[in-house]
Amino acid sequence: MSSRARDIAALALRRLVFSIPVLCAVAVGVFLLGAASPFDPIHQYYGVQIFNASASEIAQAREALGLNDSLVVQFGRWAGGLLSGDLGVSRSFRQPVAEVVSERLPWTLLLVIVGLVLAVLIALVLGVLAAWRQGGWLDRCVTALGHALEGIPPFVLALVAIAVFSLSLGWFPVAGLTDAGAEATFGQVTSHLALPALVLAVSQTPWLVLHVRQSLLTSLAEDHVTGARARGLAEHVVVLRHALPTALLPFVTLIGARVPELVTGAVLVEEVFSWPGVASAVVRAALAVDFPLLVVLSLLATAAVLIGSLLADVAAAVLDPRVGVDG
Amino acid sequence: MVLADGYEPETLNPLLGFGEEGASKLFDGLVEHRADRSVRAALAAEVPQPSPDGTTWTVKLRPGVKFHDGTTFGSEDVVATYRAVLDPAFASTVRSNYSMVTAVDSDGPTTVRFTLAYPYAPFVHRMVLGIVPSESVAQPGPLERSPLNAKPVGTGPYKLTEWRRGDRMVMEANDDYFLGAPKVRKLTVVFAIDDNTRAQRMRAGEFDGTALPPLAANGMTDVKGAQVIKHSSADYRTVVMPMNNPVTGDRAMRLALNYAMNRGGMIQALLGGKGQPASTPIPQALPEFVEPTAQFRYDKEEAARLLEQAGWVLGADGVRARGPQRASFSLMYPAGDSVRKDLAQAFASDAKAVGVEVKLEGLGWEAIEPRMGADALVLGGGNPFDPDLKSYPLLHSSFAANGFNNPGSYRNAQVDAALDAGRKETDPAQRVAYYRQFQRAYAADPAMVFLVFLDHTYVVRDGWTGYQEVVDPHTHGLTWGPWWNVQSWVPKG
């Protein structure tokens, strides 16, 4: 193993070790927020039966559920379960948390990965074309639209997309994973995935496309590109082979930095499109102060952000030997 | 058959309240209700009868019944189910329905004996509780961990094959069902919370039926091959008048407000005509129990007269006052429930017309609960099977300020006596007399202002026979509604 590879491995290891206290802090933070919230988990447990229950039965149920124990005891019980592999039971889904996550995570990963890939493709194509013909009509459109979209939250975009493409034009289904009663076949899921993934992609694209355009413009002005042009190389070779690679490096880092936004975007998009993923479960868990589920989902989101930035840094270090790995 | 529902059950566990009033499709009780509200034997071999003193009920069980997982149903399952309900360690949410049960014992493999603390005539209506396999409740512990919540194992006409949360539930016919395999072989329930979305998708032909609010259902009458169905219900909406509030605690004020309400107007304007006026918790669905003299007419003059008589004098600002006390109180309603919000606004405007100021507050249940003893509240509920089941916890003094039961702490010795006599009496004619007496005592000193019984409205596509009209309990959707007896429906053609 070269010393460079060893350094990168050390970076990854160091980051992973640092992530442990971060995750612990998130768990404690979510737990304290849940305890401080005015919502009473016993209401969630009872549902509409709360209206018939007597006060003494509710008190006994509290006791049986351990809701009367002190915060420290409740947290200790949860953390102990976590260490022995038991994530606890979700009160809003009445199902083990592990089951909720394993049923829903694949759908979220599908949505997020397709959305991210689409966003990157759109950003690369539009960003390169805009920078190539700087000041042209496409460049002006992309820049203006990009800045405008930066200010529009994903849920607005999602609602507008439903109004236009589903309700008015009828091109895509409104919501859900499949049509009512249909099996989750490839065709069904693809047609239902198209619009939410596109919305998620478009909501993330502005930052990426503007960034690609800007860094390509910078690298087009650099000496090695001027040199390539002077050698009489074809324009597409100059742009795609000489300018683009140097412009892409910071782009990789940017994608890593966009992961938190992607997570937030996924929550909003899944909620609007009734997509049965973990992100829409976040909303339900939060409304119900379903601590066991909420904390696991928060940890998942935190882990996604940490891993995203780690992968971006590792990729940058691998691609560019000049990048330092002591961070 | 594909149905759409606006409410998704949180759990399919009968011990956590799924199918509390029967008709759960997946589970059977010892008895089940028929369209005329009477009970017939389900897992019991015959309709159970109480001992002469009314405190012991012996139930013979139907032989040869199997659970969905192939195990045989027997008395141990009944005993285990009821004991789990009663054991605080399980934290069952339906325990309060069975507070009169002191013991459940097996008397051989096909007989179960219930021992009650006191004679309780309507107990047979509580035997609709779905029976679960004894193995599933062998381990005491809060039921939130129970596998039955998501993977129910019952004896019912349908078995669950798939439940994608937030999306849909698929059930298939249970060929071993003891009353014969259902002809409707596959039942899919799609969950779509938004009423307009459901209406659109119903119109587009995606569903074979759905529940819609009255106004939306009225707009579906032109859909070809489908009809709009209306079910009466025992589902009341009432305004609780707490006794500990200086304004609502006054008997004359409560009586006057009962006269001041234009219930017919509310039903026309807010419910599209789909509802019945309510004066007491006894619904028109229990016609033999309804006391005609206990109904409040709309009479603003009478309301004003009652208030004047009690010393509530109209002030310069149009609001009455008695001494330093202004006739003004807060009315809370659960924010997000549009029907209750509309009714609260109508209540406030009708009260204003007789000089009583009502300040509206839309809140979450967490905020409402600690204030129920002092501020008025729009409450809903109802059960069409027996007057005791709802009236007793709602109005008996022993339930005063006990959870959400009798939240206004109403205490009336005559009401208590009639309710106590009614639940212990076994002679049907005598029971009717007690419940009419209860309503007269209540109407002379009302605890609340009952407004309406809601009708439930549905859109049902043609293509099956077997529909039977029924009176809905408070709950509807997957369990009750037009599809309450879907296991005996037959596809046409």
Nearest chain A alpha carbon to B4: A180
Cβ contact (<8 Å) for B20 and A49? yes
Q: Is the pLDDT of residue A1 over 70?
A: no
CB pairs under 8 A between A and B: 126
pLDDT at B210: 92
A168: its two tokens:
């008015």
Chosen from A37, A43, A45, A51 to mutate, greatest number of chain B CBs within 10 A: A51
Instruction: Report the gap between the CA of A62 and the closest CA in chain B (Å).
Output: 8
pLDDT at B250: 94
Rounded to an integer, what distance in angstroms lies between the CA atom of residue A99 and that of residue B186?
A: 26
Rounded to an integer, what distance in angstroms lies between the CA atom of residue A35 and that of residue A299?
A: 17
pLDDT at B266: 95
pLDDT at A327: 54
| Contacts with B95 from chain A: Cβ below 8 Å | 53, 57
pLDDT at A149: 82
Cβ contact (<8 Å) for A89 and B201? no
pLDDT at B144: 82
Residue B188 parent element (H or E): strand B186-191
Nearest chain B alpha carbon to A100: B165
A272: its two tokens:
């609007």
The whole-chain average pLDDT of chain A stands at 81
Cβ contact (<8 Å) for A51 and B404? yes
For residue B367, what are the contacts with CB-CB under 8 A and spacing of at least 6? A38, B332
Q: Check: CB of residue A158 under 8 Å from CB of residue A165.
A: no
Q: Check: CB of residue B154 under 8 Å from CB of residue B81.
A: no
> Which among A71-75, A105-109, B28-32 has the top mean pLDDT?
B28-32
Cβ contact (<8 Å) for B402 and A54? yes
B91 shares contact with chain A (CB less than 8 Å)? yes
pLDDT at B35: 87
Task: List pLDDT tens digits, range B271-288.
Answer: 988 899 999 999 988 889
Cβ contact (<8 Å) for A39 and B97? no
Task: List pLDDT tens digits, range A144-164.
Answer: 888 888 888 877 887 887 777
Q: Is the pLDDT of residue A173 over 80?
A: no
Q: Check: CB of residue A110 under 8 Å from CB of residue A186.
A: no
Instruction: Report the gap between the CA of B405 and the closest CA in chain A (Å).
Output: 6
Chain A neighbours among B 64-83 (CB < 8 Å)?
Answer: none
Question: What is chain B's pLDDT, residue by residue, as a tens digit (493 residues)?
Answer: 999 988 888 889 999 888 888 888 999 999 999 888 889 999 999 999 999 988 999 999 999 999 999 999 999 999 999 999 999 999 898 998 898 999 999 998 999 999 999 999 899 999 999 999 999 999 888 888 888 888 899 999 999 998 887 778 999 999 999 999 999 999 999 887 778 778 888 888 888 999 988 888 888 888 888 999 998 888 999 999 999 999 999 999 999 999 999 999 999 999 988 899 999 999 988 889 999 999 999 999 999 999 999 999 999 999 999 999 999 999 999 887 888 999 999 999 999 999 999 999 998 888 898 899 999 999 998 888 899 989 999 999 999 888 888 999 999 999 999 999 999 888 889 999 999 999 999 999 999 999 999 998 999 999 999 999 888 887 756 788 899 899 999 998 7
pLDDT at A182: 64
B117 shares contact with chain A (CB less than 8 Å)? no
Instruction: Pick B403's closest partner by Cβ from A58, A94, A274.
Output: A58
| Contacts with B142 from chain A: Cβ below 8 Å | 45, 61, 64-65
Chain A neighbours among B 169-208 (CB < 8 Å)?
Answer: 170, 188, 190, 197, 201, 206-207
Rounded to an integer, what distance in angstroms lies between the CA atom of residue B256 and that of residue B369?
A: 26
B371 shares contact with chain A (CB less than 8 Å)? no
Instruction: Pick B167's closest partner by Cβ from A43, A54, A276.
Output: A276
Chosen from A40, A43, A57, A68 to mutate, greatest number of chain B CBs within 10 A: A57
Residue B50 parent element (H or E): strand B49-50
Chosen from A94, A99, A188, A275 to mutate, greatest number of chain B CBs within 10 A: A94
Q: What is the CA radius of gyration of chain A?
A: 24
Nearest chain B alpha carbon to A178: B167
Residue B450 DSSP SS3: strand
Task: List pLDDT tens digits, range A185-224.
Answer: 777 777 778 788 888 888 888 888 888 888 888 887 778 8
Cβ contact (<8 Å) for B91 and A51? no
**What are the φ and ψ backbone dihedral angles of A3, each rounded to 5 degrees?**
-70, -30
The whole-chain average pLDDT of chain B stands at 91
Cβ contact (<8 Å) for B399 and A54? yes
Residue B313 parent element (H or E): strand B313-314
| Contacts with B475 from chain A: Cβ below 8 Å | 48
pLDDT at A38: 74
Cβ contact (<8 Å) for B365 and A43? yes
Cβ contact (<8 Å) for B201 and A54? no
Nearest chain B alpha carbon to A55: B403
Task: List pLDDT tens digits, range A50-69.
Answer: 888 888 888 888 888 888 88
For residue A231, what are the contacts with CB-CB under 8 A and spacing of at least 6? none
Residue B61 DSSP SS3: strand
Instruction: Report the gap between the CA of A178 and the closest CA in chain B (Å).
Output: 9
Q: Is the pLDDT of residue A295 over 90?
A: no
Instruction: Pick A61's closest partner by Cβ from B91, B165, B197.
Output: B91
Cβ contact (<8 Å) for B165 and A93? yes
Cβ contact (<8 Å) for B403 and A50? yes
For residue A181, what are the contacts with CB-CB under 8 A and spacing of at least 6? B2, B168, B170, B188, B190, B206
Q: Is the pLDDT of residue A244 over 80?
A: no
**For B67-185, where are the E strands, in sequence order?**
101-106, 111-116, 158-164, 168-173
Instruction: Report the gap between the CA of B150 and the closest CA in chain A (Å).
Output: 7
Cβ contact (<8 Å) for B403 and A95? no
Nearest chain B alpha carbon to A93: B10
pLDDT at B345: 95
Cβ contact (<8 Å) for B144 and A52? no
Residue A75 DSSP SS3: helix
| Contacts with A274 from chain B: Cβ below 8 Å | 166-167
For residue B316, what are the contacts with CB-CB under 8 A and spacing of at least 6? none
Work out the percent of chain A whose per-residue pLDDT is above 90. 0
pLDDT at B435: 96
Cβ contact (<8 Å) for A94 and B168? no
AA letter at A143: T
Cβ contact (<8 Å) for B201 and A180? yes
What global pTM score does this model have? 0.81
Rounded to an integer, what distance in angstroms lies between the CA atom of residue B492 and that of residue B486?
A: 14
Per the document, the length of chain A is 327
Indicate the pLDDT class of residue A179, thresholds 50, 70 and 90: low
| Contacts with B188 from chain A: Cβ below 8 Å | 180-181
Instruction: Give the CA dihedral B275, B281, B286, B288, nearest 10 degrees.
Output: -120
Q: Is the pLDDT of residue A268 over 70?
A: yes
Indicate if ipTM > 0.90.
Answer: no
Pairing of strands B275-277, B448-454: antiparallel
Q: Is the pLDDT of residue A181 over 70?
A: no
Indicate the pLDDT class of residue A108, thresholds 50, 70 and 90: confident
